[in-house]
Amino acid sequence: MYNKVIGLILADDLAINLGELSYSRGIGAMPFGGRYRLIDFALSNFVNTGMLTIGVSTFLKYRSLMDHLGTGAAWDLDRMNQGLHILPPNYGLEAHSGESYDLTGLWDFYRDFSHPYIIISTCHCVFNMTYEDFIETHINSGADMTVLYNEDGYRCGSPITFFDIDENNRITGVYYNPEKPKSNNTSVGTLIMHRELFVDLLSNMMSRGIQDASFLTFLRMFKTYDIRGYKFEGEALRINSIQSYFNETMRVLSDPVRSQIFYGEYPIYTKVKDEAPTYYNDSCVVDNSMISDGCVIQGTVQDSMLFRGVTVSGQSTVNNSILFQDTFVSEGCQLENVIVDKNSVIRPGTKLIGNPNYPIVIGKGVIV
Amino acid sequence: MPKKNMVAMILAGGQGSRLGVLTNNVAKPAVPFGSRYRIIDFPLSNCSNSGIDTVGVLTQYQPLDLNTYVGTGHPWDLDRNNGGAFILPPYQKIEGMDWYKNTANAIYQNINFIDNFMPNYVLILSGDHIYKMNYDLMLKQHIEEKADATIAVLEVPWDEAPRFGIMNTDESGRNIIEFEEKPAEPKSNLASMGIYIFTWSVLRKELLADEENPDSSHDFGKDIIPSMLSQDMKLSAYHFSGYWKDVGTIRSLWDANMDILDKQDEINFRDSAWRIYSRNPVKPAHYISSEATVKNSCMTDGCVVYGEAEHTVLSHSCVIEEGAIVKDSVLMPGVKVRKGAIVDKAIIGMNTIIGEGCKIGGKPDPQNPYYNKKLCSDEIVVLDRGLIIKDNAVIPGNCMVEHRPDLTEGNVVEDVVQVW
C-alpha cells in the first residue's frame, strides 16, 4: 500500500463545537480514551494499512496538534522520503482566507506524488480498521469515489451526514443534518478517490474562487461523479458534540466496544509519555473504569475514564466522569457526570453533579 | 567525532545466575522491573537526566532482548547525531577473538570506542541496580577533588556490610585508603555501589597495565582499584544517600518491586524532574471491572482486572480473570491468571498463563520436584516465561519452574507458548 495510496487527514472541523473543550484545540487534538487524541485513530488506521505518506491539514488552533504529532515517530512516520507532513495554512497567499483548508497548499503537496489513490479521513469518528478491502472494493467497482458508512445514524446527534444508497451501493442523495432522515446510512468520514481526480477537483475549486472545501463538498458531487458506499460493520464512535463525546466515552468503557476499539487486530499508536505506573492504595474502590498511567487512586472511581497523571484523593468519589490529564481531585469531593479538562484542580469538599444528559464541563487549568 | 567531556559505559553482559530461570533467556539488565521498566532503564535514564549523551552498553550474555530493547536509544533521548547509545558486544580482532573476561577487560576491549570521543572522564556503571542518581554532581566532586577516580559509596547497616565491597576512608570521609571485598570484620560501612568515574588518561594506562598482568582477574573492584591505591593515586568517595537496591537475587528483586508499593516516597517514580524513561508498549489504558478489587497495587497500560489484586505489581498487558486472587506478587508483562486461580507471593515471567483454579505459593514442600532451596527463599515462587500452567495445578512456596521441553508431559506445565 505504501506506494499505491496516499493519506490526507482533515484535522479541523468548524462545524463541530465541543464548547470549552475545543476552546484551545481543534477536533483532531481532542483527548479521547484515556491516552489518545482523536487524530491517533485516523493516523493509526492509515499506518496499519501500510500507508507511509500522510498529510495532516489544519487551519486553526493547531499548536496543540503540532505538539502531539512532533516528527511522527510515535506512528513510525519519521521516514526519509515519505512519512508525516503537516500542512498548515499559508496565510501569505491571497487565495487563502484562513477560514478553511488551504487548497493551494493541498494542491501543491498532492500534485507531485505518484500514488494513484488518496484516502481522505476526518478525525471525529473513532474506529479501528485497516483499509485493504475498502481500497480493493473501490478499485474493482470502477467508481470515482467510495465513501465509508455505517447504519447507526439514528443513534447519533448532529452535525451528521446521511446518504441514500441504491442497490448498486451508489449514493443517490446526501443530506446534512436532516430533520427527518430517510435512511439510517451515515458517513464515517472516510473516502477514497483517484489522486489525480482529487488534484483536478482542487484546481477546479481554486479557479472558481471556492474557499470552503470540506469532506461534504466531495460527497455533494454525487450527481456528477459515481460515488459508492462501503459499509463498515464495526463500531464507530461519532464525536460531534459534548454530549456525544460524553456518551461515546461511557460506551467505550464496556465490552464489546472497548475490545473493538482498543484491542483490535492492530494497535492504536499515540505519543509516548513516561509516566510512573498507576498506584492504587488500600482504601480505594474502583468499578468499571479505564485508568491511564501515572494516576494515584485513593478514593472511589466508578464508570469513569481517567487520563494520565490524575489524582483522586481519599474520601472522594468520581462517578460517570471523564478526567483529563493531570486533574487533581482533592479530599472529600464528589464528582458525577463531569468532564474536567487538563491540569484542573478540584478543591477539598467540592461537589460537582451534572446530569447524564448535560454533563458539567470544567475548562483547562481551572481551580474549582 | 566531536570531543565529549564524559562517556558512560554500562556493564550489561552479566548473566545474573542467582535470578535462576528469570535470566535463562535474557541478560539481567533486560529483566522487567516495577511494572513499567526494565532494570537497565535506571542507569540509562540517569545518564540522560545527568546530561550524558554518549553511552556504551556492553553486552555478552543472551543479548537479543537487551539489544532489541535499547535499540537506537530513542526512549532515553539517546539517539544522537554525535554520540548516543551504542551496543558493544565482544568482537573478533586480528590477533584472535576473546569474550569479555571481566569488568575491566570489557572496558579494555573497548578502548578504541572511548578514544573516539576523546573524553576527559569515563563513567563506569553496572546494569543491575535500582536507583536515581545525578552523575553530574559526582563528576563535579571528581573535578573539585582533582581525583584520579571517584567511587560512589552508600552507608549500609553494619550487619550487612560483610556482603559488600567496603571502602575504608581517612577521617575526612572523602579519601579512600583501602578497599576490602566482602570483609568478615568490616572497618567501615561504606559500600561501593559499583559506580566509578575515572580520569580517562589514568584509567587507560591502568587498563593496559592490568591486561599485561597474568595474575590479574581483570576486575575493577579486585584489581584496578587496589592497584591505583598501591600507587598512591587519589581515590575520592562520593557519598550517596538515596534509594539504592541491588536486584541480584530473587529475594532482593521481589523486595525492590514491593518497595514501589511500600516505599513510594523513597523510590519516587513520580518526580517529573527526574523521570525514569522506558520503551513503551502500545497499549490502551488499563481497565478495572465492577467485580474487581484492587488494593495497594500498581499497574500500567493494557492490564485488565476482573479478579482481585492485593499488594501486587502488574506489568503491561496482564490479565486477572474473575475470581482469581493475586497477592504479594510480581507479574511481568503479558501474564494471564485464569478464573479462580490463587497466586500468593510469586514472580511470574513474561506471557506465562496460570490455568484455572491453580494454587501458586504457600507453605514450601521440599518433596516437590520444583523445590529450589538454592535460589528461592521466603516462600517466593518463581515461574519461567512463556509457560502454560495446567488447570488446578499446585505449586508450593520456594519453587522455581523452568521452561524445559521434557516438562511438557508433567502434571504442572501443559505446553509452552511463543514468548515473542
pLDDT at B408 over 80: no
Q: Closest partner residue to B284 among A35, A278, A284, by Cβ?
A: A35
Q: Which set of grid coordinates corresponds to residue A256?
A: 464489546
Distance from CA of B294 to the nearest CA of A (A): 7
As a whole number of angstroms, the distance between CA B145 and CA B302 comes to: 49
| A37 in contact with B, Cβ within 8 Å | no
Judging contacts by C-beta atoms under 8 Å, the chain A residues touching residue B287 are 253, 258, 289-291
Q: What is the pLDDT at residue B419? A: 42
Beta carbons of B75 and A272 less than 8 Å apart: yes
> What CATH number labels A2-262?
3.90.550.10
- Residue A312 neighbours by CB under 8 Å, 6+ apart: A284, A295, A296, A297, A298, A299, A300, A301, A306, A318, A323, A329
Question: Nine-digit cell at A196?
Answer: 489525480
- Which residues does chain A have within 8 Å of residue B294's beta carbon, measured at their own beta carbons? 280, 284, 286
Q: With CB atoms and an 8 Å threshold, state whether A286 touches B270.
A: no
- Sorted by sequence, the CB contacts under 8 Å of residue B4 that are 6+ apart come out as B53, B54, B83, B117, B118, B119
Which pLDDT score is estimated for A95?
A: 64
Is the link from the previous residue into B333 a cis peptide, with omega within 30 of 0? no
What integer best gives the mean pLDDT of chain A?
92
Q: Are B305 and A289 in contact (CB under 8 A)?
A: no
Asked if A31 reaches chain B (Cβ–Cβ under 8 Å), the answer is: no
pLDDT tens digits, B203-231:
999 999 999 999 999 999 999 999 999 99
Per-residue pLDDT at A157: 80
Residue B329 scores a pLDDT above 60:
yes
Cross-strand pairs, A362: A340
Q: Which of the residues A128, A252, A275, A280 would you substitute to probe the B interface, choosing the one with the greatest number of B C-beta atoms within 10 Å?
A: A280
Record: contact A268-B282, CB cut-off 8 A? yes
Say if residues B38 and B153 touch (Cβ distance below 8 Å): no
Alpha helices in B97-185 (DSSP H): 103-108, 111-116, 135-144
Residue B405 has pLDDT above 60, yes or no: no
Give the integer Cα–Cα distance in Å for A147 and B365: 65
**Residues of chain B with pLDDT > 90: what percent?**
78
The upper half-sphere exposure of residue A298, i.e. CA atoms within 13 Å in the direction of its Cβ, equals 13
Which distant-in-sequence residues (6+ apart) come within 8 Å of A345 by Cβ? A327, A328, A330, A366, A367, A368
**Confidence bin at A105 (pLDDT 50/70/90):** confident
Q: How far is C-alpha A268 from the geometric centre of its chain's CA atoms?
A: 12
Residue from the list B36, B285, B290 with its beta carbon closest to the beta carbon of A287: B290
- pLDDT at residue number B416: 57
Read off the pTM. Answer: 0.92
Q: Hey, which residues does B84 pair with through a beta bridge? A: B54
The residues, any chain, with a CB within 8 Å of residue B126's CB and separated by 6 or more, are: B10, B11, B12, B14, B43, B194, B195
pLDDT tens column, A224-268: 999 999 999 999 999 999 999 999 999 999 889 999 999 888 999
Tell me the DSSP string of A6-50.
EEEEE---TT---GGGGSSS-GGG-EETTTEEHHHHHHHHHHHHT
Mean pLDDT, to the nearest integer, of B364-391? Answer: 91
Closest CB from B277, B290, B295 relative to A280: B295
pLDDT of residue B406 exceeding 60, the answer is no
Task: Provide the percentage of residues in chain A whose pLDDT is more than 70.
Answer: 98
Confidence of residue A182 (pLDDT cuts 50, 70, 90): confident
CB neighbour list of residue A30: distance below 8 Å, 6 or more residues apart: A18, A21, A22, A37, A38, A123, A239, A245
Distances from the Cα of A337 to the Cα of A18, A114, A295, angstroms = 16, 50, 20
User: Do A293 and B277 make contact, defined as CB atoms within 8 angstroms?
Assistant: no
Q: Which of A211-215, B17-21, B115-119, B182-186 has the highest mean pLDDT?
A: B115-119
Residue B360 in this model has a pLDDT that exceeds 70:
yes
- Would you kindly state where each structural domain of chain A is located, as residue ranges? 2-262, 279-362
Residue A282 in contact with partner chain B when CB distance is under 8 A? yes
Going by pLDDT thresholds of 50, 70 and 90, the confidence category of residue B181 is: confident
Among B34, B289, B294, the residue with its CB nearest the CB of A280 is B294
Q: Does B274 touch chain A (CB under 8 A)?
A: no
Nearest to A277 by CA among B257, B132, B26, B23: B257
Residue of B nearest to A252 (CA): B287
Name the percent of chain B lying above pLDDT 70. Answer: 96
C-beta atoms of B269 and A277 within 8 A: yes
Q: Tell me how close the Cα of B140 comes to any Cα of chain A, in angstroms.
A: 28
Return the CATH number of A279-362, one of 3.10.20.30, 2.160.10.10, 3.30.559.10, 3.40.50.300.
Answer: 2.160.10.10
b/e map of A19-51 (b: 16 or more CB within 10 Å)? Answer: eebbeebbbbbbbbbbbbbbbbbbbbbbbbbeb
Q: What's the pLDDT at B410?
A: 53
Q: Are B299 and B69 in contact (CB under 8 A)?
A: no
Write the CA distances from B415 to B94, B381, B407, integer angstroms: 46, 19, 8
Question: pLDDT at residue A92 above 80?
Answer: no
pLDDT for res B204: 97
Query: Pairing state of beta strands A305-306 and A322-323?
Result: parallel
> Please, what is the average pLDDT of chain B?
92
Are A54 and A77 a contacting pair, CB within 8 Å? yes
Beta strands B325-327 and B342-344 are parallel
- Angle of helix A195-207 relative to helix A103-111, nearest 10 degrees, comes to 150
Three-state secondary structure string covering B187-200: CCCEEEEEEEEEEH
pLDDT at B237: 96
- pLDDT exceeds cutoff 50 at B420: no
Other CB atoms within a 10 A radius of the CB of residue B393 amount to 20
Q: Which of A80-89, A100-109, B401-410 has the lowest mean pLDDT?
A: B401-410
Interface ipTM: 0.90
A291 Cβ under 8 Å from any chain B Cβ: yes
The Cα–Cα gap between B251 and A270 comes to: 37
Query: Phi/psi at A198 (nearest 5 deg)?
Result: -60, -45
Read off the pLDDT of each residue in A299-303 and give the average, rounded to a whole number: 97
In angstroms, the CA A247 to CA A261 distance is: 15
Q: Which long-range contacts (CB under 8 A, 24 or more apart) does A284-288 make?
A: A284/A312, A284/B294, A284/B295, A286/B288, A286/B292, A286/B294, A287/B288, A287/B289, A287/B290, A287/B292, A288/A253, A288/A254, A288/B288, A288/B289, A288/B290
For the stretch B77-132, pLDDT in tens is 999 999 999 999 999 888 888 899 999 999 999 999 999 999 999 999 998 899 99
Nearest-neighbour CA in chain B from A302: distance (Å)? 8
Interface of B with A in 29-48 (CB under 8 A): 34-36
Q: What is the mean pLDDT of residues A212-225?
A: 90
Beta carbons of A181 and A154 less than 8 angstroms apart: yes
Q: What is the pLDDT of residue B98?
A: 86
